[in-house]
Structure 1
Amino acid sequence: MSTRPRTVAPVVEITGATVRFGAETALDGVDFRLLPGEVHSLMGENGAGKSTLIRALTGAIRLDAGDIRVGGQPVRFTSPASSLAAGISAVYQEIDLLPNLTVGENILLGREPRRFGAIHWRALHARAGEILADLGVPVDPRSVLGSHSLAVQQLVAIARAISVDARVLILDEPTSSLDLDEVAELFRVMRDLTARGVAILFVSHFLDQVYEICDRITVLRGGRFIGEYVPSELLRIDLVEKMLGRSSREMEVPERVDVAPEAPSVLSARDVSSAPGLVAADLSLAEGEVVGLAGLLGSGRTELARVVTGIDRPDAGELRVAGDRVEFATPRRAIARGIVYSSENRRTEGIIGDLSVMENITLALQAERGILHRLSRARRRELAHSWIEALDIRPADPDRPAWTLSGGNQQKVLLARLLALSPRVLALDEPTRGIDVGAKVEIQRLVAELADNGLSVLFISAELEEVLRVSQRVAVLRGGRVVENLPAEALTVDSLMALVARPEDAP
């Protein structure tokens, strides 16, 4: 139940929402309401029905059953344009803007003011500047969008969304790539909007952020409505259990046994530099060890992972594999030595959405074998089925297009592709970004199991609690350098945060 007065009428109310895709029921009689001037979180596992509900609310799909009311009036959204006309705007995790255009052009794209039949550029940038100033976002509307940080682009996307007099703003995973200061700025803008009566539907897998910014929470599970709650009246562990339908004990990651100090290094880097983000960094990784790379955005953690896995070439320094000095001219050379990398950008450097699950899983293995030694279809299907079963990829359909899977299952498909290469070292860059807590725990458990079987893992995550949960040792990066190497058991989230955020010139 809500803490708001019951006399406040919902700006959006959905009753009995049902959506079917063939034999699969994505939404099953779901109720949902959104009040003016509130931030309302929609929570659930990947595949719980969150995206389907948002797609119905934005007119991307139609309900098979159920009703939608906006401002108390029944509506039937036949297209995204009809939803937008009703005052519902959405900003998605993957920002759908044009980086080669100016900020102002992006904000008013398709709605440019015109004079004598041509775009009135002065009026366009003046209007865009007013919208940005109204949000308290100090950005020059004439500047090229691509020259700005991801956080600024996110705010520009919000400016575009509300520039059509939106009554409802849907934010789908808006903080997945933002640092703490950027999240704080986003929350400031959100609070300003709700103070004006805008209702915000906020989707995030970061529980801390949900409890900080949201007035109410609606939980979905398996396409069904589980309940509506006030954050102050719901413990976080209870929220997780409602989302997953199982107890917290079932979600524990097994404790890891520390690697012996004298264990030989499988992979090491010494004084490795790569402009502009990496400066004389050192790293070592023993067999069966999980080393977490912790640092703020821009600290060099991704740059280090990309260099040691052959994605990028170092400008200076030395790499060794099992004691042998190596130079990786291409990622294929690194793969040949058993070293693979999973990118933080799952969409553009990972999953190929239009290919099937089977094709995605066997893609790297086929590339390694070469075009003259093609895997038979029977062998590819056998491999796909084995990895689908081993990683519990759902649905267990090797012919399903990968884009139709939830984020967590797409991440499992990507892991299956890399594990099919039988690697010795696996670098995971933000492997749990944008996926639900249940899938996150499954991947954390998988990392532990792989390490127990001798695989060495580099683990990068912006969530420090996750870094400590998974790793045996943590390498802290600041300003492109590894400044600390400490056992995970000697750290807490607070002490690790202090190390990560310490000024570069501090002792």
Structure 2
Amino acid sequence: MHIQMQGIYKSFGTNHVLSGVDFELREGEVHALMGENGAGKSTLMNILIGLHQRDEGVIRIDGKETYFPNPKEAERAGIAFIHQELNIWPDMTVLENLFIGKEMTTKWGLLSTKQMKTLAKAQFDKLSVDIPFQREAGECSVGQQQMIEIAKALMTDAKVIVMDEPTAALTEREIRKLFDVIAALKKEGVSIVYISHRMEEIFEICDRITVMRDGKTVDTKDIPHTNFDEVVKKMVGRELTERYPQRNPSPGDVVLEVKNATRKGLFENVSFQVRSGEIVGFSGLMGSGRTEIMRALFGLDHLDSGEIWIKGKKAHIRKPDDAVKRGIGFITEDRKDEGLLLDFSIRENMVLPSLSGFTSKGFINGKREKDFVDLLVKRLQIKTQSAETAAGDLSGGNQQKVVIAKWVGIGPKVLILDEPTRGVDVGAKREIYQLMNELTERGVAIIMVSSELPEVLGMSDRILVVHEGEISGELSSEEATQEKIMTLATGGQ
């Protein structure tokens, strides 16, 4: 399938999102679409599949002008979209999610569960996924939900697949498997639009790259004819001197100590310390228990046994409010369902955990609140026309920045960051890294859970590796390598 999009314009009210974008997808190619958060990448693809209608411009598919009225029609024509924000029905089973709206039936009109399981198992085997079909999707990790979405798209026999940040929640092993599947699809003539902020992936699997900035096409090039620095400069309009800002840690006293924390079936006898002013990275494969440990520390889930100590005092954390009162902030990996109230404004989301700090005698000090919000919007370079914009109207990366701002605002002693740069562009990543450095310089203890090994290596002072619910090893920043982390993550010594 050959797709040409020419002179595409799109505005939402007074917000001009696309201003004459050109994009071409050839048959059997993997085409990277890159740009900062808010550049218009997802909007362009949503116009292609009919989720949004263009204001101006022409779309041709195999030489014929084609405009889909809705995503269902696009899917029927052979275009599948794996969205960055997962379209999972949490109360339905994995199998039901895979076949929602496309249920298979017997000749008598009854559901053919056997037939659906056979087809689903074939796709899961391709992706090396092992998730029980009868499990409720809401009980799956974000990474597992991502693999369900990928499998669902592959089952449509699509000629074009749009992948928007498909590896954001995946670990190295799942990513390698996905790349194998992409290579096989390419050989079959399937075209793939690959939207990602992970530069290494772009240069490994893509044939061409189109860079967007501020709703416009900046350039399209064959991958062999460009490089990392050139792409970054085109994306952000400036050069980034270093990918990871230099750290000069000087850890102080122990702020957080965890002793023999256990939640049966998920993690066991987990013990570690985090000092003021240091970043401790947590690495491990999907399902290893990293996120589950953090959820229990924050009181989202209960501990069966074990102790949490904060600044030398035993802390009884049974719910998130207990954690917040003791100075713990938690940026969850699932920003849409757990990190934000999407119908609330940016301002309302940012001040929610620290509202008492703006309140006196039952009244909110509007000026202090506004100054606080304006400062964080500017500091994190959140792209918005107003702090009163609903969080759900922001791009994924800008939503992530709002979540970070929300917890920075409580003045935390300990800040837990679970996949802090998931779906965030290279320029914004550096902003987040610099903010992490500033926080540690002020004595904040940071725990960073990340599936990106370069990020773990680039930002951590110490690295703890989790394997099957236990800490399998600790590495200093000096001795850590990707190979050593993966060895520990897979149960090696």
TM-score norm. by structure 2 comes to 0.89
2:172 equivalent in structure 1: 180
Counterpart residue identity of residue 317, structure 1: G
Counterparts of 1:310 and 1:48, CA distance in 2: 37
Q: Which of 125, 135, 146 does residue 136 from structure 2 map onto?
A: 146
Structure 1 segments unaligned to the other structure (5+ residues): 1-9
CA, structure 1 residues 367+213, in 2 after alignment: closer, same or farther (shift >3 Å)?
farther
Of the structure 1 ranges 46-55 and 172-181, higher mean CA displacement relative to structure 2 is found in: 172-181
- Residue 185 of structure 2 corresponds to residue 193 of structure 1: yes
Alignment match of 1:360 (pick from 341, 349, 369):
349
Do the aligned residues in 2 keep the contact of 1:67 with 1:74 (CA within 8 Å)?
Answer: yes
**In the alignment, what sits opposite 2:289?**
300
CA distance in 2, matches of 1:409, 1:315: 36
**Matches of 2:478 and 2:132 in 1, distance apart?**
50
| CA RMSD across the alignment | 3.0
1:11 and 2:2 correspond: yes
- CA-to-aligned-CA distance 1:137-175 (integer Å, 9 cap, x gap): 489999436377766765554554455553211121222
Secondary structure, counterpart of 2:364 in structure 1: coil
Taking structure 1 as reference, are residues 272 and 374 closer, same or farther at Cα in structure 2, changes over 3 Å only? farther
**Matching residue's letter, 1:208:** E
Query: CA 1:77–1:321 in structure 2 vs 1: closer, same or farther (change >3 Å)?
Result: same
Equivalent position of 1:312 in the other structure:
301
Structure-2 change in CA distance of 1:305 and 1:81 (3 Å):
closer
Paired residue for 2:468? Answer: 479
8 A contact 1:171–1:203 mirrored in 2: yes
C-alpha distance in structure 1 between counterparts of 2:239 and 2:131, whole Å: 50
Say if 2:312 is the partner of 1:336: no
2:159 counterpart of 1:170 = no
**Pairwise CA distance, 1:58:** 0.9
Aligned to 1:45: 36
For 1:131 and 1:480, the matched residues in 2 are separated by 28
1:91 is matched with which residue? Answer: 82
1:220 to 212, 215, 220: 212
Whether 2:395 is the aligned partner of 1:395: answer no
Match of 1:7 in 2: none
Shift of 1:344: 1.2
> Is the counterpart of residue 280 in structure 1 residue 272 in structure 2?
no
Q: How does 1:107-122 map to 2 (within 5 A)?
A: 107-112=98-103, 119-122=109-112
The residue that corresponds to 1:467 in the other structure is: 456
> Which piece of structure 1 moves more, 225-234 or 438-447?
225-234
Partner of 1:126: 115
Percent identity, aligned pairs only? 36
Matched to 1:287, the amino acid is S
What is the CA distance between 1:238 and its match in structure 2?
A: 2.4
Q: Determine which of 418, 438, 445 is the counterpart of 1:429.
A: 418
Q: Is the 8 A contact 2:415 2:444 kept in 1?
A: yes
List runs of 5+ in structure 2 lacking aligned partners: none
Distance 1:409 1:194, change over 3 A: same
Per-residue CA deviation, residues 199-243 of structure 1 (Å, 9 max, x unaligned), is 111212222222222222111111111222222332223222222
AA paired with 1:64? Answer: D
Matched letter for residue 69 of structure 1: R
Give me the whole-angstrom Cα distance separating, in 2, the residues matched to 1:436 and 1:140. 31
**Contact kept? 1:353, 1:401, Cα under 8 Å:** yes
Letter in 1 for 2:389: R
Q: Which residue of 2 aligns with 1:3?
A: none
The TM-score, its normalising length taken from structure 1, stands at 0.87
- Distance verdict in 2 for CA 1:115–1:141, change over 3 Å: farther
Relative to structure 1, the CA distance from residue 39 to residue 488 in structure 2 (aligned partners, 3 Å threshold; closer, same or farther) is same
Query: How far apart are 1:59 and its partner, in Å?
Result: 0.6
- In structure 2, do the counterparts of structure 1 residues 369 and 272 end up closer, same or farther at CA, with 3 Å as the change threshold? farther
1:256: Cα distance to partner? Answer: 2.0
Shift in alpha-carbon separation, 1:350–1:487, aligned structure 2, 3 A: same
1:229 — aligned with what?
221
Change (3 A) 1:299 1:12: same
Partner SS, residue 489 of structure 1: coil
Is 1:241–2:233 an aligned residue pair? Answer: yes
Identify the residue that residue 5 of structure 1 maps to in structure 2: none
CA shift for structure 1 position 452: 0.7
2:412 counterpart letter in structure 1: P
Q: Measure the CA separation in 1 of the matches of 2:43 and 2:32.
A: 15
Any conservation in 1 of the 2:358–2:369 contact (CA below 8 Å)?
no
Matched residue type, 1:188: D
For the 8 Å contact 1:272–1:317, the answer to whether it is kept is yes
Shift of 1:249: 0.9
The verdict on how the C-alpha distance between 1:369 and 1:325 changes in structure 2, with shifts beyond 3 A counting, is farther
Aligned residue identity for 1:299: S
> Is 1:404–2:393 an aligned residue pair?
yes
Distance 1:185 1:231 in 2: 22
Aligned partners of 1:103 and 1:140 also within 8 Å: no
Task: Report the 3-state secondary structure (helix = DSSP H, G, I; strand = E; otherwise coil) of the residue aligned with 1:468.
Answer: helix
Amino acid in structure 1 at the alignment position of 2:257: S
Instruction: Kindly indicate whether the alpha-carbon contact (under 8 Å) linking 1:388 and 1:396 is maintained by their aligned counterparts in 2.
Output: no
Q: Are positions 1:452 and 2:441 aligned together?
A: yes
Distance in 1, Cα, partners of 2:144 & 2:247: 40
> For each residue in 1:48-107, what CA deviation from the matched residue of structure 2 results, as whole angstroms up to 9, or x when unmatched?
110111111111112222100011101233332343343322121333244655666545
